[in-house]
Amino acid sequence: MTTGTLLAPLRLLLPALIPSWNFFDVIAPAPRVEYALLASPGDTTGVWRAFRPRPEHVSLATLLKRLFWNPRWNQTLFVMSCAERLAEDRNPAHSEAELFKRIAADLVADGALEPQDPTRPWLCFRLVFVSREGEALTEEVMVQPAPRLLKDIAIR
């Protein structure tokens, strides 16, 4: 183990010990994660679907319950952090692996979300960043890594 490896967590800790507290100073382009299942790595016929689209409405009871138990939403926020890191090229290998892992886990856990199609074994995702230009919202695809075989993604 090198000195750099040992010091890496301390480097991650430093911004917590000397915080900047610049919450929401500017409203940056916001990521959306979309995924598709493909027949082959070069397949362009996959249908892009939003990863964990928001519900139309959340009841007050659910909002209050989430004060104490909110794992899915907090994981979604982590996925957004990974998307931002990946777009900014900060530790991209880790962020890309996390995104593949969490999308694959959702697909396997919730077969109804996307019925497994043996003819489409490849998983791909892309990051669409939404921003405002004047009064209009614009979308830009900023990252689309190489597809991975769904069965090869460790989700345990």
Partner 1 sequence: MSLEAAVRLTEILLALALVQQSLEHLRGFRDERILFGVRVVLCGLVIAGVAAPWPLVGLAGLSLLILHRFQGPYNGGSDRMGLLALWCLVLTRLLPTPALKELSFGYLGAQLMLSYFISGGVKIVNPDWRSGRALADVFQFSAYPVSQNLRRFAERPQLLRVMSWAVMGFELAFPLTLLWKPALVAGLAVAATFHLANACLFGLNRFFWTWLATYPAILWLQGRLL
Are 155 and 105 spatial neighbours (Cβ–Cβ below 8 Å)? yes
- DSSP string over 20-47: ---TTSS---EEEEEEEEESSTT---PP
Residue 66 touches partner 1, criterion: CB under 8 A: yes
Binding partner 1 (rule: CB under 8 A), the pick from 16, 61, 112, 146 is: 16
Residue 8 touches partner 1, criterion: CB under 8 A: yes
How far is Cα 156 from Cα 154, in angstroms, rounded to an integer?
6
Burial call 96-118: b when 16+ CB within 10 Å, e when fewer:
bebbbbbbbebbeeeeeebeeee
Question: Please, which of residues 90-149 interact with partner 1 by CB under 8 A?
Answer: 91, 94-95, 101, 105, 130-132, 137
Residue 21 touches partner 1, criterion: CB under 8 A: yes
Residue 68 touches partner 1, criterion: CB under 8 A: yes
Residues in touch with partner 1 (CB under 8 A) = 8-10, 12-13, 15-17, 19-27, 30-32, 54-58, 63-64, 66-71, 73-75, 77-78, 80-81, 85, 91, 94-95, 101, 105, 130-132, 137, 155-156
